[in-house]
């Protein structure tokens, strides 16, 4: 498991966003931030699909990696509500991308105008902003690849990018994980730059 030597000597920030691409090590790094802290609540957003063996294997791999003393709460449909419930200890959310996919599915929004999902996304951001105990969120960085060939792919990329920007604004710490290496983008002592518009070009 990827570990962070820094978090052993400092207090975990109240709100931490961990970004990264597929297989970047972002989940393992996020887990290392809360490892050794008690109690830990794990909010799992992945939905079970018994017809997709590969997806089931991914979920099982995450389960096996978690310490047995962590409390797992299935939160694919009620993530904002779960975050609004005050608990002792730290909370780990893995991940925001699978929550967004489920939210788009629930609202049958894949063919609807962009912004249909905004109220749900904004509710999630507000829940994070008002957290009173440490929370670590894992989210996919989707802005580096080519523009997807399908409308659904472009919609997800746009909505995920917009949500990540909003979460980064309210989080005290933002870390980007690349090839297993964490890069600090924002710390609690840094002032967030001006917000970039959601309409910053076709890419």
- The set of catalytic residues is 62
Phi, psi of 153 (to 5 degrees): -65, -45
CB of 41 closer than 8 Å to CB of 71: yes
Q: Where are the alpha helices (DSSP H) in the chain?
A: 26-34, 53-65, 79-84, 96-106, 118-129, 151-170
CB under 8 Å to 184, separation ≥6 — which residues?
173, 174, 175
CA distance 159 to 134: 25
Sheet holding 90-94, edge to edge: 71-74, 40-44, 90-94, 135-140, 15-20, 173-178, 181-186
């Amino acid at each position: 498991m990827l570990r962070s030597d820094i978090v052993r000597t400092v207090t975990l920030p109240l709100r931490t966003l961990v970004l990264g691409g597929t297989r970047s090590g972002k989940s393992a790094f996020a887990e290392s931030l809360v490892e050794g802290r008690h109690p830990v609540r794990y909010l799992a957003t992945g939905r079970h699909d018994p017809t997709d063996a590969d997806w089931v294997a991914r979920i099982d791999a995450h389960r096996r990696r978690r310490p047995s003393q962590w409390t797992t709460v299935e939160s694919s449909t009620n993530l904002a509500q779960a975050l609004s419930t005050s608990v002792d200890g730290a909370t780990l959310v893995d991940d925001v991308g699978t929550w967004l996919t489920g939210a788009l599915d629930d609202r049958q929004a894949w063919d609807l105008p962009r912004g249909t999902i905004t109220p749900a996304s904004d509710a999630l951001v507000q829940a994070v902003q008002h957290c009173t105990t440490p929370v670590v969120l894992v989210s996919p960085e989707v802005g580096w690849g080519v523009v997807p060939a399908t409308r659904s792919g472009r919609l997800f990329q746009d909505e995920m990018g917009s949500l990540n920007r909003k979460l980064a604004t309210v989080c005290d710490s933002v870390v980007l994980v690349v090839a297993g290496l964490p890069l600090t983008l924002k710390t609690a002592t840094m002032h967030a730059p001006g917000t970039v518009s959601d309409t910053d070009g076709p890419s």
